[in-house]
Every structure is written in structure tokens, then in C-alpha cells.
């Protein structure tokens, strides 16, 4: 088998994994988050108006939080948000962290093809905590 063929097959496998993960992220968000946070993370979901407190807008809140802080909120809950730690696996929590980050940075609904942007894909699929020894980009480690 030629090196080109091997590289091509490897690329197809990575794209397929990314497709499955993207679909899983979207489904998890629809099941667990969309009702309160809405389709773009603006806090305008169908049940948000009936809740006793305002639902955070990802564009204002998540954008300023580290990966670790977002993960903690998803796992332990905060305010009126329930704790999803017992209900989600570690990969599902990571998917939710990434998806909320995507929504907060884009500030709008994210098209399916945008999730395959090379930088988003790399952040999504490379186990940075194993490669670099930490789970946050360097700029997030700086004190504010």
C-alpha cells in the first residue's frame, strides 16, 4: 500500500470520527441544553421565560470562562441549572464543553460544516491534556 493511500484512508477515518462526534454534540445539546439556553446559546430557549431566574447567555458568560470552569458548571450545576455529572460520561461532558465554547465564540447558530474548521476539529479531537499536560489553551492559564 502506498503512503498516499495510507494517508488518505487515515484522513477519511479522522473525518468520520469528527462527523460522529459533531452529531453527538448536537444531539446532547438538543436533549440537555436547548430548552433553556436556546439554539444559539443566547438563553432564549422555549422554557427559559418560565424559569425563576434568567438563563445565562453563552456569548456573555462562557466566552470568559476556562475549560475547567465550564466543565465544573456542567458536572455540578450552578444556580437553577441541574448537575449533569451523574448523567453524562466524561466524553459527553467534553463534547458539551466544546459545543458551548463554539456557540459562545460564534455568537450564532453553527452550521454543520463549520464544525469541521481545522482549528475547531483539532481542538475537538486532539487529547490536548495528554499531549501538552494541561486541558486549557495557554492563554486561559494566565491570571486575569
What pTM was estimated for this model as a whole? 0.60
Using 50, 70 and 90 to split pLDDT, how confident is the model at 9? low
Q: Which of 39-65 are b and which e, b meaning 16 or more Cβ less than 10 Å from the residue's Cβ?
A: bbbbbebeebeeeeeebbbbbebbeeb
Say what percent of the chain tops pLDDT 90.
Answer: 13
Q: What are 105's three cell numbers?
A: 465564540
* Confidence grade of residue 42 (pLDDT, cut at 50, 70, 90): confident
Domains of the chain: 3-127 (1.10.760.10)
More confident: 121 or 81: 81
Amino acid at each position: 500500500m502506498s503512503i498516499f493511500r495510507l494517508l488518505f484512508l487515515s484522513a477519511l477515518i479522522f473525518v468520520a470520527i469528527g462527523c460522529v462526534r459533531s452529531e453527538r454534540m448536537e444531539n446532547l445539546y438538543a436533549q440537555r441544553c436547548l430548552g433553556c439556553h436556546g439554539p444559539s446559546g443566547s438563553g432564549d430557549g422555549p422554557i427559559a421565560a418560565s424559569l425563576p431566574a434568567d438563563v445565562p447567555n453563552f456569548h456573555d458568560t462562557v466566552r470568559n470562562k476556562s475549560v475547567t470552569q465550564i466543565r465544573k458548571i456542567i458536572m455540578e450545576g450552578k444556580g437553577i441549572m441541574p448537575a449533569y455529572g451523574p448523567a453524562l460520561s466524561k466524553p459527553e461532558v467534553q463534547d458539551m464543553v466544546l459545543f458551548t465554547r463554539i456557540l459562545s465564540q460564534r455568537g450564532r447558530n453553527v452550521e454543520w460544516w463549520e464544525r469541521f474548521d481545522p482549528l475547531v476539529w483539532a481542538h475537538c479531537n486532539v487529547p490536548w491534556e495528554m499531549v501538552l499536560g494541561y486541558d486549557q489553551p495557554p492563554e486561559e492559564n494566565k491570571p486575569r
